[in-house]
Chains A and B, each alone.
Chain A
């Protein structure tokens, strides 16, 4: 993410959260937080608790983010934001947590007859292959809850479709034959079987490196006979470092009601 992308991202994030943008110039932006976002980002529960108890007038903070020090005025006070800065990570996390679940309808243009909308369950996940190194794969899976059709890259496909939070006129939704809960386990099982079918030489290599380090450690302790605490701590540290495992974590997901031809 270059600094300009960060700038745009911040703008989008605060606009999506309905925060007034007070200043937007090359190199910096100033934002008036809403009460909700102040609570979300500023970490001052005591202030809000006190305010609610006393019934005072809430005064959410405004924030200035400097996205390019060279372009911003020299004396400007604000937080310098860069890729990797804790504040940006916090906003990333908040982006994810504020909108984890969603329900949308296709805003179709078939106005001459009643159009059925089919339910889709969407799950966006991150698969992390982890040992002493790490690799992630982003997957977006869609499952049609009537006929059980499963589709990859679902999120990309959704970008081609106009969506709306309210059910459009001349539409009715079909109720799912596959229950959402069992839909979730279908997707889980699908992901598991895909992963199991993959080649895992990375894990083998990690185990080899792990063994090598273990042998080295053993060498330094070979004369020590009794149970040794630092030996077991070191051994455990090596396990944490090397042991290969795969984590599937949930990013977000939702229900999408789409026309038959949409996907």
Chain B
């Protein structure tokens, strides 16, 4: 087979001119150095990476090297890295970036990550990869620095956006890219308009088998590759979930996405120990819970959806502060409240005031004192968070709060305070994502989220690469409440806590019945009797078990490496 050979002869005249005019001639030392440089830059084989041999501070794991190799050799630098949580996507992205920089193919880079991870990304790139990444703090940074790390929320706002649009990026890396599944959002539009040569999308959530998500993410990587949006949807009905049936789509997904699974990496993971701690309400707490529950039967309790009753029930299991906060809000938001409504609220507030202790908080205190090590407490409610901080302080235990809404600097600071000074970190749900706390190995689930994925994310904060000890998880559940039901009937049944991270999201994506949370609201809200509820819960857990069976039986569309 013949291959076209291009011979660069642009230098010939220059050379001949110097021969004719006897110079000017170069310096022999530099001449030799140039050859030395060239020998360093030569790519000796079609396959293989050069970066690892230049990284003395890093020993990448085999699956990380393999991923970087795939992206560079087979995917032309356009890929979705969808490893399960905690397998080191940052390292993979760093390897790819480094490799391209060594090959001289990448110079200008934009890295968009959640605000809480900006500093961490920059530190890792600098220390592990010798890549001088700068965190964006001033607007001139976009133009003057080659490698910038920023949060997408900052980047998409003016004046930054206008400046960024003017840059030609060689590589763009986006962490937590599952937030770009919807092409109607500002974030999506922003990323779509960036000028880029290579692009890496990092996400812990696999592309769920939804045509729309595939279209949107692939269109970011390879605009136009799937044809126009309309013709694409004509072919594959928008909500169809027929990915597995379509060879072409399957092939395409394998061409742009790599998903390493924990089980395939062969890495020894530390164990998880799960302990459920049942807690008894005090009389006053029980009274509050029952009063809230009774609202359900007060048929016309002014538009009170089963949802808000459920919320109050769950809050009553967390803290009286959480209940109080919601009640106050309900009253304020109500336009022209009827006297009956006001009375009802006032009645409940009286019940709140009657509660003198928090049984869970006391248990938590006891546990923290016993553990005598760093502990993370997760709660769903801010009011509980504030109460706990106050409560622990009363007993001489230092704690720091953590919320998703914190600015980047504050998050970094809180993380550092926790690592160096405080014993306890109290995080609300939003704090669950995007912060790595491997130095701690105890988690208290003060109350339980209804979306099992959120539990996964909580645990994923500490059970990840770099965790050296076994992870202890304590689940608090008040006896004879919705909380205990969900823990006993669902989470324990599907062995949620024993699963390795990432396994569950696979299983859940197999289920075609939508959001688990909605099902739970339906079960608890609409069931007429305890018995009905039990049966419905049984059904739900059987469905999940069924999906698990399906998963075992087949190989995945997104089985990673081709």
Contact = CB atoms under 8 A, between A and B. Distances in A.
B74 to A, nearest CB: 8
B266 interface: no
B124 to A, nearest CB: 14
A92 B37 contact: yes
B69 to A, nearest CB: 10
Given A16-B29, A132-B76, A136-B42, A9 B15 contact: no
Interface stretch (B6-14, B270-278, B460-468): B6-14
A71 interface: no
A163 B28 contact: yes
A100 B23 CA distance: 11
Given A82-B132, A248-B8, A99 B30 contact: yes
Contact of B9 (A2, A99, A188): A188
Given A136-B44, A138-B39, A216 B252 contact: yes
A252 B26 contact: yes
A101 B14 contact: yes
Contact of A84 (B2, B28, B102, B231): B102
A200 B98 CA distance: 29
A252 B31 contact: yes
Contact of A204 (B1, B34, B39): B1
B27 A89 contact: no
Interface stretch (A25-33, A55-63, A109-117, A220-228): A220-228
A184 B8 CA distance: 12
A12 B224 contact: no
A253 interface: yes
A17 B28 CA distance: 11
B236 to A, nearest CB: 10
Contacts, number: 206
A168 interface: no
B273 to A, nearest CB: 38
B43 A134 contact: yes
A155 B28 CA distance: 12
B1 A1 contact: no
B530 interface: no
Given A80-B130, A233-B224, A104 B38 contact: no
B56 A13 contact: no
B35 A252 contact: yes
A84 B131 contact: yes
B56 A95 contact: no
B396 to A, nearest CB: 36
B19 interface: yes
A135 B102 CA distance: 14
Contacts of B235: 220, 223
B371 interface: no
A49 interface: no
B513 interface: no
Contacts of B98: 84
Contacts of A35: none
A231 B224 contact: yes
B16 interface: yes
B15 A101 contact: yes
Contacts of A249: 8
Contact of B35 (A124, A202, A234): A124
B141 to A, nearest CB: 16
Given A84-B54, A138-B42, A247-B6, A230 B228 contact: yes
Nearest to A213: B255
Interface string B248-283: 100110010000000000000000000000000000
Contacts of B42: 126, 136-138
Nearest to A1: B40
A95 B8 contact: no
Given A83-B54, A135-B44, A200 B1 contact: yes
B5 interface: yes
A175 B535 CA distance: 102
A39 B223 CA distance: 41
Given A84-B130, A95-B37, A136 B19 contact: no
22 contacts: A9-B33, A12-B33, A82-B130, A82-B131, A89-B107, A92-B41, A96-B38, A101-B15, A101-B25, A102-B27, A126-B42, A132-B73, A133-B73, A192-B7, A213-B255, A216-B248, A230-B227, A231-B224, A234-B224, A249-B8, A251-B34, A252-B34
Report the 5 A-B pairs with minimum CB-CB distance, sorted nearest first: A99-B26, A82-B130, A230-B224, A84-B101, A99-B30
Given A13-B33, A101-B18, A223-B235, 19 more contacts: A80-B126, A82-B129, A85-B130, A95-B37, A98-B27, A101-B14, A129-B46, A133-B73, A134-B103, A140-B35, A165-B25, A181-B12, A184-B15, A188-B9, A192-B7, A213-B255, A217-B225, A224-B228, A234-B222
